[in-house]
Structure 1
Amino acid sequence: MPAVLEQSLALPAYQMTYLAKQNQPVSGDYFDLHDMHFTQQQNNATRTVIVPANKQQGAAEVSTELTPTSLVKGEQAPAIKGKNLLGHEVTENWSSKQFVLISAFFADCTGCANEIPAVKDFAERHPNVKILYITWDSIENSRKFTSLNDLEALIIADAKPWLQQVGVSTYPTLMLLSPTGRLLYADAGDDADGSALQKMAELLIPAV
């Protein structure tokens, strides 16, 4: 859907940002799923386009509840494949036997940046939890995001197939996995106040 939409707007070289009705960053697939109507806000100087959803007059109301992932609690997450910031292929297959906190982001996502201090605080309080930042974004954009936000955690870029496989279309999304890679908790939306992370902290019990 996103590529088709970008082609239909004749803006293949522009950075596209999609917003749900509550101005939450989502993927273009979200528009397709909910049959969204939209406008576009184009900036030729920065070569960016913001595509906010809107309700067409007379159109049926649809649910816009943010869904973090298509995985259900206790379901095994597939191995993550992507590239690190050096451009090398990497695979995360839960071999470290640690709890894993995943933050799904993209570089221009304001909410993704807003919750980073809360994630860092979580990481400091729970040093045995592996922190992964996963994105469909390019290596170059991921490097900029990492530098701007002073991240030291592992970044896996170019991971769009995995994000689609687990049904992540809202950003940011946080997921806590057991040491064997099973979903324990997931939350979609800006968690700058750390409320979702606190719920995850309560689940850090012996391996599932």
Structure 2
Amino acid sequence: MKKNALFIPAILTAGILLTGCGTADLAGEEPETEPAETTEEESSDTTQDMETPEEAPEEPEASSGNEHSETSEGELTMSDNQAYQLYVLDGYEFTAEEPNRDVIFLQENDAIFMRVETYYPSDIDFDELVSNTQDTVQASNPDAELAEFTDYDSSAFSNSAAYEVETAEGHVTGIAFESDNIVVRVTIFDHSTVEARDDFIQMAQTIERVQK
């Protein structure tokens, strides 16, 4: 009887100890959860996208610094012995021929050129210049017929007259014109295989008076 009385408390004590251990084990275990790798990766990608700056627009190339003197019309050139300037197209060269005369010639063939002469309006009578221009052009081929030349934009000048004559090489053309306090005569010596007259006329139309 005593043995049974002692055995029962021992069983109760062991049960209490086991219950305590089980509770402790359960309390120490954390519920299993899947790692949030996908969420972290997506969050990281989103952060990188937000932090990636947009590509900056390309900066325009720096200017060469010659825009004031070179345009699509050519290179601005001032005469050394006459008070004027003009734009000289690419492929042509400007040089002084003699006092009050300059020449623009084709670099590939200097026999193709334009002579430029300028005057102040008070120094010359325009009608006399026109008459002299006719004589100058005719002298290139006295046997050919002198013809009036009209294939140019006369609106660029306040007053103008032009003539041409045909030679064995090509046309010789003389144009006298007035524009902004300057009177000009250009004489163009062209060649039939080149046909540079339009270029010369384009350059002549940019002639303007400058003060020296």
Give the TM-score, by structure 1 length.
0.24
* Bigger Rg over Cα: 2
Structure in which a larger fraction of residues adopt strand: 2
- TM-score, with length taken from structure 2: 0.24
